[in-house]
Amino acid sequence: MVGTPINGRTRLSFGAVNGGHDLGPSSAPPSNAGSDYGIIEFTREDVEALLNEKAKRKDRFNYKERCENMMDYIKRLKVCIRWFQDLEISYSLEQEKLKSSLELAQQKCTEIELLLKIKEEELNSIIVEMRRNCTSLQEKLVKEESEKTAAAESHLKEREARLNFERSQSTLQEDLGRAQRELQSANQKISSLNDMYKRLQDYITSLQQYNGKLHSELSTVENELKRVEKEKATVLESLTMLKGQLTLSMASQEEATKQKDALASEVTSLRVELQHARDDRDHQLSQAQTLTSELEKSKDSTEKSCSELNKLTLRTNELEAKCALQDERIKVLQEQLTTAEEKLQVCDISASETRIEYEGQQKLVHELQRRLADAENKVIEGEKLRKELHNNILELKGNIRVFCRVRPLLPDEGSSTEGKIISYPTSMEASGRGIELTQNGQKHSFTYDKVFAPDASQEEVFIEISQLVQSALDGYKVCIFAYGQTGSGKTYTMMGRPGHPEEKGLIPRSLEQIFQTKQSQQPQGWKYEMQVSMLEIYNETIRDLLSTNKSSSEGTPTRVENGTPGKQYTIKHDANGNTHVSDLTVVDVQSVKEVAFLLNQAANSRSVGKTQMNEQSSRSHFVFTLRLYGVNEVWLFLL
Ligand SMILES: Nc1ncnc2c1ncn2[C@@H]1O[C@H](COP(=O)(O)OP(=O)(O)OP(=O)(O)O)[C@@H](O)[C@H]1O
């Protein structure tokens, strides 16, 4: 067996070599160390010390002591391996736990992330909604405020207009009052003028009466004059005497005329005055009429202004009501805004809490990942150590080990042993390792790494081999071959008895172990690729047993140069110590079934014939090669 690094190539070969020689004794010690050490803790230094421990050689030829030392060493190694296996189990348990807790945490984290995302989306939608509301509210507010300011401005304008109007109304009222007062004074004047007119008319009437009286007096005077003239005539005679009387009468007449003229002029002046008074009255009346019309106009305009004022007051009241409503609406909107902001704050708080929780979970996940990485590193280290220890044990057991298996007598052989007696030593030292053959009274003793008695089962033989299979999985090259004379049981040991699954041989059992390990190590990141090739060496010639160009006939031993006629197979060794047979058919395999099928195919292709010792003798050397390519992607990632 040759060691190779991890993740490299490894090869497990099984061979069956025909030959007629027995093997000599082996130098490897027995491997039956017990667990006398109980539970002991090892440190890396202890393990290294144990591995580097050199055998104390007081007496080089004291094999017993050396053997005891070796046994003790093996015991300690076994304890160490058991400790290591426990450690490995605990590591893998811890790894499983950590993985499950990591998965849980990751699930939780994902759930929290999802929740957070949903919440964030909800919050974002709420925030967007709120913001939209807020903007619409602010827009509304701005609009309302602008409307309010416009309303206030219009209100102010209306108030100013009202004030102006009130002012103009008061001036108009003042004017009206003044006009009314003037009208009153004009009325008073008119009434006084009327009184004066009446008085003047009375005066005129009295003057006319007086004039009439004067006229009547004048007529009486004239009548008197006539009577006087008659008297003149009568009194002509008494003219002289009456002349004085006449002059007097004339003077009184002149005086009366004068009086009449004065009265006439007075009447004229009175008439002029009356005319003036009439004109004045007309003027006053026209003034009063204009004032009345103005008053009516101003009354109309006052009414109009009053109605406008009423309208404006109504409008103002409406606007004030609207303003009050808008104020209330603004208050409600502000309250809504405050509650929305409070909600937003609560949402922010819950979002920050969730974020803190998420960060905590992430920290936990990181911590778990770190611990997992630590554990995985420990597992890698442990795995390396286990491989080292395993290899050490195998080295201690012997890199080359030879087992002896005695097959039972076959039914057709009866009890004939041709004078040979096989016995097994009973001494502790050689127990299970020694065999004694007595022939013709001569005793021959042989020692092997292990001797399997005829009743040893295939399972028992495989237990010894399984450690080598593990080595192949660990990356070491392993070769197992059966050697013995014809009919000694090589094919039986390697392949088993066809149709008897409980008697299956080392090859199918090894393959089962390999595929089981492949399966069990898959969760730890191990990936194995397997390739199978099978050849037969018959009369120093190689035959490819998996070649599809088969030219050998089954059941008869034939001398065929190789699988394909004319094809020459050559054995090559590369720099890495790998051995290849050129042009050999190599088949990728995924399962035991596939290998079983190929084995069956190979078995049918083999050269088989009858020998004296074996009805179904193989007549050739059969080499089954399994190439394992193991890669741990997790380790590659970690390393
Ligand atoms: N341990 C065993 N128990 C029972 N039967 C056995 C055992 N070993 C061998 N046999 C039987 O002995 C016979 C011969 O064995 P086998 O064919 O394996 O020998 P061989 O070494 O392969 O012979 P050859 O070299 O001629 O091919 C077979 O019938 C096989 O079943």
For the stretch 527-555, pLDDT in tens is: 899 999 999 888 888 889 998 875 543 33
pLDDT computed for residue 20 by the predictor: 35
The span from the CA of 46 to the CA of 80, in Å, is 9
- Please determine, for residue 309, whether its predicted confidence score (pLDDT) is greater than 90: no
The ipTM value here is 0.98
Q: What sections of 44-62 are H helices per DSSP?
A: 44-52
Other CB atoms within 10 Å distance of the CB of residue 534: 27
Cα dihedral across residues 192, 196, 201, 202: positive or negative: positive
488 is in an annotated binding site: yes
Cα dihedral across residues 181, 187, 190, 195: positive or negative: negative
Site to probe by mutation for ligand 1, drawn from 492, 493, 495 as the one with most ligand atoms within 8 Å of Cβ, is 492
> What are 53-86's pLDDT values in tens digits?
776 666 667 777 778 888 888 888 888 888 888 8
Site to probe by mutation for ligand 1, drawn from 404, 485, 491 as the one with most ligand atoms within 8 Å of Cβ, is 491
Full-model pTM = 0.50
> What are 31-45's pLDDT values in tens digits?
333 334 455 677 878
The single residue listed with the structure tokens 């993740």 is 7
What's the gap in Å between 489 CA and the centre of ligand 1? Answer: 3
> What are 422-444's pLDDT values in tens digits?
888 877 767 788 999 988 888 89
pLDDT computed for residue 112 by the predictor: 80
What number does the ligand 1 atom closest to the CA of 494 have?
18
Q: What is the DSSP letter of 502?
A: G
What's the gap in Å between 335 CA and the centre of ligand 1? Answer: 100
The span from the CA of 359 to the CA of 196, in Å, is 116
- Please determine, for residue 23, whether its predicted confidence score (pLDDT) is greater than 70: no
Pick 52 or 510 by higher pLDDT: 510
Please enumerate in sequence order all residues whose Cβ is within 8 A of that of 586, keeping only pairs 6 or more positions apart, or say none: 531, 532, 533, 627
> What are 598-629's pLDDT values in tens digits?
988 888 887 665 555 555 566 688 899 999 99
Pocket of ligand 1 (CB under 6 A): 18, 407-408, 410, 484, 486-492, 497, 611, 614, 616-618
- Please determine, for residue 636, whether its predicted confidence score (pLDDT) is greater than 80: no
- E-state strands within 566-613: 571-573, 579-581, 587-589
SS percent in the chain: helix, strand, coil, step 5:
65, 15, 25
489 is in an annotated binding site: yes
What number does the ligand 1 atom closest to the CA of 482 have?
21
Answer for the pair 380, 372: CB distance below 8 angstroms, yes or no.
Answer: no
* Domains of the chain, start order: 128-355 (1.10.287.2610)
Please state the length of the chain: 639
The residue nearest atom 14 of ligand 1, judged by CA position, is 487
What number does the ligand 1 atom closest to the CA of 495 have?
18
pLDDT computed for residue 613 by the predictor: 55
